[in-house]
Amino acid sequence: MSSEETIAESGEYLMNTYGRYPIALARGKGCRVWDEDGKEYLDFITGIAVNNLGHCHPNIVRAVTGQCKTLMQVSNLFHVEKQAELARLLVENSFADKVFFCNSGTEANEGAIKLARKWGGANGGRYKIVHARDSFHGRTLGALSATNKKYQAGFKPLLPGFKAVPYGKIEPIEKALSDEKVCAVLLEPIQGENGVVIPYENYLRDVRRLTRKKKVLLMLDEIQVGMGRTGKLFAYEHYGIEPDIMTLAKALGGGIPCGAFLATDRVARHFTPGVHGTTLGGNPIAMSAGLAVIRTIMEDGLLDRAASSGAYFLERLAAIKEAHPGLVKDVRGKGLILGVEFKSPGIAKDAVSRAVGKGLLTILTEQRVMRLLPPLIAGEKEIDEAIEIIGETLGEAGNA
Ligand SMILES: Cc1ncc(COP(=O)(O)O)c(C=O)c1O
């Protein structure tokens, strides 16, 4: 089919829940994708932080095709070697002692919320969760209850027991923790959907100190920033702290649906047979993909690469900001999650749509921010190409 035909058929048969680009993608390789008409794009959306190894990485393709020929699905009534192996690698490379696999980010947060409540129930009947007001934790009703209000409209009543506080400020958390019924604080180390919001350097350390003092759990949602995106395997490693629970998804499966929540033994032991489960979570295909992802990140030095490419990208974006002071308000990032904040939503929308037209895939976030999520394999060549396109779009906007 042509792009036009696919777009027409989508409009006819799919629920209208996405503001989609008028592009039908057909093929991907490394940092690039092609649409059905053969137009090439540099992909700095990466499925929204999913394709951290780029598209169709040979290690993932090999692992998944091999697994499909061996065993595609069994129930969690049985043990699966690849599931145990991926859990071991995650545990060996994190704070955690135990892992539960599921299928998506929102499902990981649902499970994490349930685990926190199970722990809280056994520790003084606590059930409330403190979260950041403008965060994004997912679309199912539990995760949605901890998410930015604008996504909640039309779906009330949500789950009770959630207390929203401003992100990046410690006093409101301190106040919220005076409620003895709070069992956990749930935060993103960097807010992706809210426009690449990076809190002050000691924020997580301050929150950790408070949660320890109040004997409350710290849950980190690393669904967008985990698996190497910030230049560390997990973003919390930048801040010298460890959470009690962490959620993962997106890049964990390298393009195959896969989510997980991880916890310390002290917390995880409150999950016993029958209290939580999933049919497809931990599926052998997803586990094989996950093993290929984590091994490739480690063996190919992609953490250092993400850190150095990210620093280079940020430096070049800072020069763009300097060249266009009337258009760009701020540039920020950590590793390969970066944002260019424009002075108005109109400028931002125009910049993103011109960039896409010129072959750079990027997303408009929170109306003013161009979010850039290159694959961890991107280097100076791809970043220079993106910078040239962004520079050109701003040159045109400045002259318009
Ligand atoms: C930080 C964060 N948490 C949770 C989610 C939800 O993940 P999923 O779309 O896989 O349910 C997202 C998705 O964008 C996210 O960025």
160: Cβ–Cβ under 8 A, 6 or more apart, which residues? none
Give 83-138 as a 3 state SS string: HHHHHHHHHHCCCCCEEEEECCHHHHHHHHHHHHHHHHHHCCCCCEEEEECCCCCC
CB 227 within 8 A of CB 376: no
- State the distance from the centre of ligand 1 to the C-alpha of 330, rounded, in angstroms: 25
Ligand 1 atom nearest to 135, measured from its CA: 1
pLDDT of 358 reads 98
- State the distance from the centre of ligand 1 to the C-alpha of 295, rounded, in angstroms: 23
Ligand 1 atom nearest to 104, measured from its CA: 10
Nearest to 347 by CA among 365, 323, 319, 368: 368
Domain ranges within the chain, ordered by starting residue: 3-56+302-399, 59-299
Backbone angles phi, psi at 198, to 5 degrees: -110, 120
CB 289 within 8 A of CB 254: yes
pLDDT of 89 reads 98
pLDDT of 156 reads 95
- State the distance from the centre of ligand 1 to the C-alpha of 39, rounded, in angstroms: 29
Burial 272-309 (b: 16+ CB within 10 A, else e): eeeebeeeebbbbbbbbbbbbbbebbeeeebbebbbeb
pLDDT of 400 reads 63
Task: Tell me, using a 6 A CB cutoff, whether residue 223 lines ligand 1.
Answer: yes
Q: Which two tokens stand for residue 244?
A: 């009690």
Contacts 24+ apart (CB under 8 A), 350-358: 350/393, 350/397, 350/400, 351/327, 351/390, 351/393, 351/394, 351/397, 354/392, 354/393, 354/396, 354/397, 355/389, 355/390, 355/393, 356/21, 356/23, 356/41, 358/389, 358/392, 358/393
- State the distance from the centre of ligand 1 to the C-alpha of 221, rounded, in angstroms: 9
Q: Report d(CA 55, CA 160) in Å as an integer.
A: 40
pLDDT of 293 reads 98
pLDDT of 144 reads 98
CATH of domain 3-56+302-399: 3.90.1150.10
Task: Tell me, using a 6 A CB cutoff, whether residue 193 lines ligand 1.
Answer: yes
Task: Tell me, using a 6 A CB cutoff, whether residue 105 lines ligand 1.
Answer: yes
Which CATH class, in words, describes the domain spanning 59-299?
alpha beta
pTM over 0.85: yes
Per-block average pLDDT, block size 10, for the chain (400 residues)?
A: 94 96 97 97 98 98 98 97 98 98 98 98 98 97 97 97 98 98 98 98 98 98 98 98 98 98 98 97 98 98 98 98 97 98 97 97 97 98 98 84
pLDDT of 66 reads 98
Could you count the other beta carbons within 10 Å of the beta carbon of residue 359? 15
pLDDT of 399 reads 66
Task: Tell me, using a 6 A CB cutoff, whether residue 110 lines ligand 1.
Answer: no
Q: Report d(CA 88, CA 316) in Å as an integer.
A: 39
Q: Which two tokens stand for residue 216?
A: 């409350």
- State the distance from the centre of ligand 1 to the C-alpha of 108, rounded, in angstroms: 9
Ligand 1 atom nearest to 109, measured from its CA: 4
Ligand 1 atom nearest to 188, measured from its CA: 1
Task: Tell me, using a 6 A CB cutoff, whether residue 203 lines ligand 1.
Answer: no
Ligand 1 atom nearest to 193, measured from its CA: 16
Residues facing 55 on adjacent strands: 30
pLDDT of 154 reads 97
Q: Report d(CA 182, CA 125) in Å as an integer.
A: 9
Active site positions, annotated: 136, 221, 250
- State the distance from the centre of ligand 1 to the C-alpha of 278, rounded, in angstroms: 18
Task: Tell me, using a 6 A CB cutoff, whether residue 188 lines ligand 1.
Answer: yes
Task: Tell me, using a 6 A CB cutoff, whether residue 221 lines ligand 1.
Answer: yes
Task: Tell me, using a 6 A CB cutoff, whether residue 48 lines ligand 1.
Answer: yes
